[in-house]
Amino acid sequence: MELRVENISKSFNNENNVQTVLKDLNFTVREGQFVTLLGPSGCGKTTLLTIIAGFQAASGGTVLINGRQVARPGPDRGFVFQNYALFPWMTVRDNILYPMKQRKVPGKEREKHLAELLAMAQLEGKEKLFPHQLSGGMKQRVAFIRALAGRPEVLLMDEPLGAVDMQMRQSLQEDLESLWLKDKTTVVMVTHDVDEAIFLSDRVIVMSAHEGKIVEDMPVRLPRPRDRQGTEYHKHKEHLVEALRTAMGRRAETAETERKLCLA
């Protein structure tokens, strides 16, 4: 699997005002990589992820998966939303079986894969429950394995832990990592949390507030599971915080330039 984002641009027409959110974005994600998109609020992270998912079209450029151009959503891409987006009227079992039925996986194979996924997420015995009967962490694990049930080439996750309080967040990051390590599906995740990015990712791409430009593309080669108290971990954190400052600063600089131009 190879995901290529080539010269992606996206503009919106907001009340006679054209807003360029992304401009000429380029990067490639290799098979099995866990890549995080980090950036200030409004820099275009979700927009980029939904373009990769095929939920919306880019204004320019292409997204290629294994050389094939992405034009619409497809089974090669799984998506995990911030609010999990489980079907509330379906049990855990039916939620997980849904993508397999969509792919017309034969019954026997479906049951086998379901059992594997439930074991992987430690959700055995919960299959008859409905989403409202689950804890936040369980819902998140169901959303994750439901996305894997479609056997996607790449898993796209938009702030998958965004709805969880800070205390639970670290332990869910650990759950997410151990689930991912069992499967090693290629992941592109959006977050605005520096610690989460370093804890989970092989690589962090920092986008700037101005036109979503890549201001940093940083590999994280620390051994897993990562020691949040370690010196190297802290160095990575400081580096990313600095990159985020740059990412935000560009917006301030741009605003200042625009102000000067307006005054001129």
**What are the residues binding ligand ATP (CB under 6 A)?**
12, 14, 21, 39, 41-47, 192
- Residue (189 or 198) nearer to ligand ATP, CB: 189
For residue 226, the minimal CB distance to ligand ATP (Å) is 23
The residue type found at 223 is: P
- Residue (192 or 224) nearer to ligand ATP, CB: 192
Contacts of 68 (CB under 8 A, 6+ apart): none
- Residue (12 or 87) nearer to ligand ATP, CB: 12
Backbone dihedral angles phi then psi of residue 75, each to the nearest 5 degrees: -65, -15
- Residue (42 or 107) nearer to ligand ATP, CB: 42
- Residue (13 or 231) nearer to ligand ATP, CB: 13
Q: How many residues does the chain have?
A: 264
Q: Which residue has the tokens 């989970």?
A: 200
For residue 190, the minimal CB distance to ligand ATP (Å) is 6
H helix intervals, the chain:
45-53, 92-102, 107-120, 136-149, 166-183, 194-200, 231-263
For residue 52, the minimal CB distance to ligand ATP (Å) is 12
| Beta-bridge partners for 69 | 64
For residue 96, the minimal CB distance to ligand ATP (Å) is 27
Query: Which two three-digit tokens encode residue 32?
Result: 């099995």
For residue 82, the minimal CB distance to ligand ATP (Å) is 9
- Residue (1 or 214) nearer to ligand ATP, CB: 214
Exposure string of 42-56, with b = 16+ CB inside 10 Å and e = fewer, is ebbbbbbbbbbbbee
Which 8-state DSSP code applies to residue 159? Answer: S
For residue 10, the minimal CB distance to ligand ATP (Å) is 8
Q: Is 193 exposed, middle or buried (0-12, 13-18, 19+ CB in 10 A)?
A: middle
Going by C-alpha positions, the residue among 152, 183, 6 that lies closest to residue 73 is: 152
Query: Strands 2-14 and 60-65: what pairing?
Result: antiparallel
For residue 19, the minimal CB distance to ligand ATP (Å) is 6
Q: How far apart are CA 210 and CA 22, in angstroms?
A: 8
